[in-house]
Chain A
């Protein structure tokens, strides 16, 4: 119990308090100890209650230990229990006094009432006093053999308690083996369940030092034990079922029959009202089918409804835990949940931690068919009184805009946000419009018209202000007032507290100068002067750099500060796919709720039975060589993240947004250049000097600004018009490992959606049909899966004359007759040409 914190709190009337009372209790207990008067048990009960009440609130009542033990000579079971509770709490700090209790506990262990035997044994093992372990072995041994199941249940956990007090005593007495025997033979399922808990804990802890224990721990995952437990699963209590299911989730089935038998057996567990059972079952289903892409996807479809029911049926706390898991699944396979988007709408009275999850899910599932509704809904939240959620909603709209192909409507909504005249809405929307323009420069006219009307006085948040200033600089030729707005901002240089804004201001005014020199010259001078005098190192350095550059050669300066830019295709994400996979491996654990793998929040020894162990992971991958698996699917199994379309597109190649210390990597292959400049131009915009594939060849810029803009000897990346006709190598080879690696490395260069011919859709009953067809067009499949209406394929192709690869993820929905493709290419310049080949190949499917 806690030290006497009571004194700090105002004592509540119903709670006892104070030291004086403890000594009162002591003397009262002493009086009763020897008494045999009638009704003495009732008075003892009252006193014991007071003692325990003190104990609960943190008053130290260890001083009455002796008296409590003296009073415990009683046949009243309620009194006994209170006494045991007390003794269990204080024995550890009073090891000498604890010895006093051994006697009566040992006697009770031989009582004829199994209740008393069990209770005494439990209390005996709960003393946690190392020098008393010798008294435990005997009673535990007979407890494990007791003919009453209650006593055995208690004894099994007692063995575990003993192990934690003295591991050697426990091992020497051969208790683990006894438990193993009980686990396989005891008729009582709770005894079996407790054996499983105890053995998992003991063998896991022993495994680091003992080879035998390691083997024993692995033996728990052997087919006979798993089947033994599975066959009885319905006899177990719901909690014990969870335990068994957790074990089964780690089991590596021998073949597909094994997998389907297990799943059929557990099918009805998905309809259990206890969410813990359902989640544990879901984990089994997901893990068992990892190597079978199509079945794995069916599992997603199957578990959707039960999970949604759990989300809406339990207490808010329970539904949060389930929703976190649903969130994980949605992020991995958004296309499967696309039609369920309405379930992720926020309710006005939900706590914000639930709303945040839902907003992310809505963002993830947005596709061509539901975006309109989702964005409309999000716009409602943007007007919400809850400012945090309003902000998140606007960001969500922005994210959807950035991941969509048709952003028309969304841009309009974003612009409406700007007109709402709520500070925080304007601020968030400005940041988004900036990102949107970086990806879709074609929208600049519409956006500029609206942004131009925003008074800088209404924008205070640094991020928003920086975004606005960036736009003023970037589009100064189209914004009539740009030089004057910048000028007035520069006049207030000293009042601008954010260095980010000042940096942005320097760059913007310089850019503006190149476009409208006469109007900006004065402001530029003022800005450079203010910048040179700035106390912030980065601001000072940038001002100096610009100054020298302008002095050296204005046209070179223009090429550095304001080169033509390529639109950003993919923004870097914060969480790597490795981390995401790790979290998925730890499904049904806290990792999912925290969105972190366990090593980030738990010490090694506490990762518990849920930890994904590496050796098991390898085994499960090895097992796919089972003959029932289509070879093409293997890659899928090795790399689960192929199924998640979230992580692949957010792959970050290293540079992050605040990459001020980023130093230019050496690019040795010319094919990597385009994607490199791509990510760099993105970097350049967030750090407002710009660079990228400048057309002038050698700009020897060093890392003066810490922006790491490499001198890019770009052989002008062939702009799309008139590329040479693309030919594909009909005998292209790519092993799955390289495919995976490339898929991770490359950014998406093209992402399109188009309709399929009705004939094609009709013929697509299994993935295999399409594979042969595409092969005829020199496009090869490396993995495929799915069932009607959703199919997913990974294809690759190679240029005929060089070993430049195209990688394609293709998702076909037969009910909407739509195909979505994402192309990654070594040579991004030719991805459009390849896309045309791909589409034409697909359109011929089943036509001839």
Chain B
């Protein structure tokens, strides 16, 4: 049972504030914001998504820098509340096309209208964009997506796939584009997040792929869709420990540990031909989530060397090898490494002719940062960093520095080899040829090489 729902900006202003049951005091937004901001005196620890202040439970999720918050006095299911907050944000995004502080402020009346239909007296009524369409009358004021910096999840597809209309994913599901007929199209995105830990000797300690198939449909008339996945896909149902690697990479089937599906997905013929059938609801939704711990080829190898170069000097050499095909390019790569506390200065040396790379030593957090705009498959990049210490290293400098971590995005690449073989739209007319986009992207979730 939800007592209040509100959205706060980064500075703590109310953008919308809806009280459903009048059980929680009015100042709750401020109490909440103060609590989140000053969770621990040192400010290092983040506030957990659920906490209780004076008998009021506060739930929050952070989305594009905004805080979506719900309050209640009742001992409810935290999973339900957090899922709901996420879903409310998604519905709003379906309506506004782009979800950010600006679009939310411009459309707050529409958001109130949505909130009235989504929740009544604290009970969830619906979060389906499709159902809501018939109850909601405000027209979204669409903000110009072209002005936006290419940030956020929608933008990860932008580079590398030039044919994609730039505004496609930021289009409102409900608003008609001025002047022209609504374009019939459907997007299927296979997004994979890699977690990988290398031991100091380069051996893979743990690896996992968390994948999701997202769909966003702008098709009229809700046609049925068939989504065919790899024939050799299997879902591990045997009780065996999933860490007993069953096959080496490169050969054999794609074996998922487990997966789950959206409500609308029918699995009638899944066992037979690995096909999902569904009637996609309007808006953006997750068709399937999957998890895989089967061994796979890491896209990057990281090598780190340290060399003593005098009493107060150490040289660190970080080498990155891109182990994917040369027609694929990774972008927005950042390599980070925490350095010993007593590091005072870092001199950087990049390889000759390096373009689009920048290096930085974050004094406050004692971190080395190396950013690369892009890395072409098959290439190797090296960074030399000369560290100067204020005191003689007491032990091994490796023990005093953190592991090397890496973030990246690789469009049109997926590590699991799970594929959408075809996307079929069941509609009789032969002239009906909607645009179908199937896109892959791989991102680093936690990509760490220990020293």
Which residue on chain B has the smallest CB distance to residue A1?
B26
Query: How many interface contacts (CB-CB < 8 Å) are there between A and B?
Result: 256
User: B291: which of A115, A150, A312, A377 is its contact (CB, 8 Å)?
Assistant: A312
Contact B137 A81 (CB under 8 A): yes
Most interface-central of B108, B109, B243 (chain A CB within 10 A): B109
Interface residues of B: mostly helix, strand, loop or mixed?
Answer: mixed
- Contacting pair A305 B77 (CB below 8 A): no
* Residue A512 lies at the interface, judged by CB distance under 8 Å to chain B: no
B105 adjacent to A14 (CB under 8 Å): yes
Contacts of B30 in A (CB 8 A): 2, 5
Chain A residues closer than 8 Å to B112, beta-carbon distance? 52, 81-82, 85
Within the complex, which residue of B26, B57, B85 is in contact with A2, where a contact is CB–CB below 8 Å?
B26
| Contact, CB under 8 Å: A608 / B263 | no
CA distance A308 to B257 in the complex (A): 10
B13 surroundings in chain A (CB, below 8 A): 9, 12, 15, 57
Interface string of A372-386 (1 = CB under 8 A from B): 000001001001111
Q: How far is the CB of B278 from chain A (nearest CB, A)?
A: 12
| A313 lies within 8 A of B120 (CB) | no
Contact present for A81 and B113 (CB under 8 Å): yes
Q: Write the chain B residue with the least CB distance to A611.
A: B75
Q: Quick check: A52 and B52 within 8 Å, CB to CB? A: no
Q: Which among B29, B113, B125 has the greatest number of chain A C-beta atoms within 10 A?
A: B125
Specify which chain A residues have a CB less than 8 angstroms from the CB of B60 in the assembled complex: 317
Residues of A within 8 A of B125 (CB): 153, 190, 194, 239
With A279-B79, A309-B289, A321-B49 known to touch, is A157 a contact of B120 (CB < 8 Å)?
yes
B351 is an interface residue with CB less than 8 A from chain A: no
- Whether A313 lies near B75 (C-beta < 8 A) is no
Q: Does A349 contact B (CB under 8 A)?
A: yes
Q: Say yes or no: is B355 at the interface (Cβ < 8 Å to chain A).
A: no
A603 to B120 Cα, complex, angstroms:
23
A268: shortest Cβ distance to chain B, in Å? 8
Once the chains bind, are A157 and B446 in contact (CB under 8 Å)?
Answer: no
B10 to chain A, nearest CB (A): 11
> Which residue of chain B has its CB nearest to the CB of A276?
B80
A479 interfacial contact with B, CB 8 Å:
no
- Is B376 in contact with chain A by the CB < 8 A criterion? no
Interface centre among B14, B62, B108, B405 (most CB of A within 10 A): B14
**Are the CB atoms of A313 and B78 closer together than 8 Å?**
no
User: Who on chain A is nearest to B22 by CB?
Assistant: A128
Q: How far is the CA of A192 from the CA of B46 in the complex (A)?
A: 40
Task: Tell me whether A589 and B75 are in contact (CB under 8 A).
Answer: yes
Contact indicator B288/A273 (Cβ below 8 Å): yes
Query: Knowing A313-B210, A313-B212, A345-B197 touch, does A608 contact B259 (C-beta < 8 A)?
Result: no
In the assembled complex, the CB of B44 is this many whole angstroms from the nearest CB of chain A, namely 8
Interface hit among A465-473, A594-602, A621-629: A594-602
Instruction: Assess whether B128 is interfacial by the CB under 8 Å rule.
Output: yes
- Which residues of A have CB within 8 Å of B402? 348, 383-385
CA distance A570 to B250 in the complex (A): 50
B11 closest partner in A (C-beta): A12
Please give the distance in Å from A30's CB to the nearest CB on chain B.
21
Q: How far is the CB of A801 from chain B (nearest CB, A)?
A: 46
Instruction: Name the A residues within 8 Å of B26 (CB-CB).
Output: 1-3, 58
> Which A residues lie within 8 Å of B293 (CB)?
342
A17–B113 CA distance with the chains assembled, in angstroms: 23
Q: Let me know if B126 and A49 touch, CB within 8 A.
A: no
Residues of chain B contacted by A275 (CB below 8 angstroms)? 79, 82-83
Pick the contact of A306: B208, B260, B445 (CB < 8 A): B260
Which of A57, A239, A421, A593 has a CB less than 8 Å from the CB of B80?
Answer: A239
A321 touches B82 (CB 8 A): yes
Q: Which residues on B sit within 8 Å (CB–CB) of A564?
A: none
A318:B79 contact, CB within 8 angstroms: yes
A138 CA / B262 CA spacing, docked (Å)? 41
A53, A115, A239, A589 pick with most chain B CB within 10 angstroms: A239
Q: Find chain A residues with CB under 8 A from B437 CB.
A: none
Residues of the A chain whose Cβ atoms lie less than 8 Å from the Cβ of B222: none
A92 partner residues in chain B, CB cutoff 8 A: 22
Of residues 183 to 238 in B, which have CB atoms within 8 Å of A's CB atoms? 195, 197, 205-206, 208, 210, 212
Q: Mark B1-45, 1 if CB is under 8 A from A, else 0.
A: 100000000010111110100100011011000000000000011
Q: Tell me whether B84 is interfacial, beta carbon within 8 Å.
A: yes
Q: Does B435 contact A (CB under 8 A)?
A: no
Q: A2-B27, A317-B49, A340-B241 are in contact. Are A309 and B258 (CB under 8 A)?
A: yes
Judge whether A752 is part of the interface by a CB distance below 8 angstroms: no
Q: Evaluate contact between A608 and B121: CB separation under 8 angstroms.
A: no
Bound-state CA distance A349–B405 (Å) is 9
From B79, B125, B138, name the one whose CB has the most chain A CB atoms within 10 angstroms. B79
CA distance A85 to B112 in the complex (A): 8
Using an 8 Å CB-CB cutoff, how does the interface string of A345-385 with B read, 1 for contact, 0 for none? 10111111100000000000000000000000100100111
| A122 on the B face (CB < 8 A) | yes
B135: which A residues are within 8 A, CB to CB? 115, 150
How far does the Cβ of B110 sit from chain A's closest Cβ, in whole Å?
9
> Contacts A5-B30, A81-B137, A347-B446 given: A242-B77 contact, CB under 8 Å?
yes
* B123 interface hit (Cβ, 8 Å): yes
A586 to B78, CA, bound (A): 12
CB neighbours of B289 from chain A (8 A): 273, 309, 313
CA distance in complex: A246, B124 (Å): 15
What A residues does B262 contact at CB under 8 A? Answer: 273
Do A238 and B263 touch (CB < 8 A)?
yes
Does B76 interact with chain A (Cβ within 8 Å)?
yes
Chain B positions 121 through 148: 1 when the CB is less than 8 Å from some CB of chain A, otherwise 0: 1011111100000010110000000000
User: With A348-B403, A603-B73, A606-B74 as given contacts, are A49 and B124 in contact (CB-CB < 8 Å)?
Assistant: no
Q: Is the CB of A301 within 8 A of B239?
A: yes
Cβ of A588 under 8 Å from chain B? yes
Do B124 and A239 touch (CB < 8 A)? yes
A350: chain B residues at CB < 8 Å are 446
Q: What is the CA–CA distance of A81 and B109 in the complex, to the nearest angstrom?
A: 9
State the CA gap A157–B122 with chains docked (Å): 10
A345-B395 CB under 8 A given contacts A160-B121, A305-B257: no
Q: B48 on the interface (CB 8 Å rule)?
A: yes
In the complex, what distance in Å separates the CA atom of A56 from the CA atom of B109? 10
Contact with A along B42-76 (1 / 0, CB 8 A): 00111011101001010011100000000001111
Given that A81-B113, A273-B261, A308-B291 are known contacts, is A593 also in contact with B50, CB under 8 Å in the complex?
yes
What is the bound-complex CA distance between A115 and B117, given in angstroms? 11
Is the C-beta of A278 less than 8 angstroms from some C-beta in chain B? yes
A273→B286 contact, CB < 8 A: yes
- Which of B85, B121, B197, B450 has the most chain A CB atoms closer than 10 A to its own CB? B121
The answer to whether B16 and A56 touch across the interface, beta carbons within 8 angstroms, is: yes
Known: A56-B14, A197-B123, A279-B79. Contact between A342 and B138, CB under 8 A?
A: no
CB within 8 Å of B: which A435-458 residues: none
CA distance A239 to B263 in the complex (A): 12
Tell me which of B45, B121, B242, B450 contacts A388 (CB under 8 A): B45
Question: What's the least CB distance linking B392 to chain A, in Å?
Answer: 12
Can you show 18 pairs from A to B with CB atoms below 8 A apart?
A2-B27, A9-B13, A49-B108, A58-B14, A85-B112, A85-B116, A153-B125, A157-B120, A306-B260, A313-B291, A317-B61, A317-B85, A321-B78, A340-B241, A348-B446, A351-B48, A420-B395, A586-B75
Further contacts, 14 of them, CB under 8 A, given A273-B288, A342-B206: A9-B13, A49-B109, A197-B123, A237-B127, A272-B260, A275-B82, A276-B77, A278-B79, A280-B77, A314-B82, A342-B243, A592-B78, A593-B50, A603-B55
The 7 closest A-B pairs by CB, nearest first: A347-B446, A276-B80, A317-B49, A313-B289, A608-B74, A305-B258, A239-B124
Residues of B within 8 A of A (CB): 1, 11, 13-17, 19, 22, 26-27, 29-30, 44-46, 48-50, 52, 55, 57, 60-62, 73-80, 82-86, 105, 108-109, 112-113, 116, 120-121, 123-128, 135, 137-138, 195, 197, 205-206, 208, 210, 212, 239, 241-243, 257-263, 286, 288-291, 293, 338, 366, 394-395, 399, 402-403, 405, 445-446, 448, 450
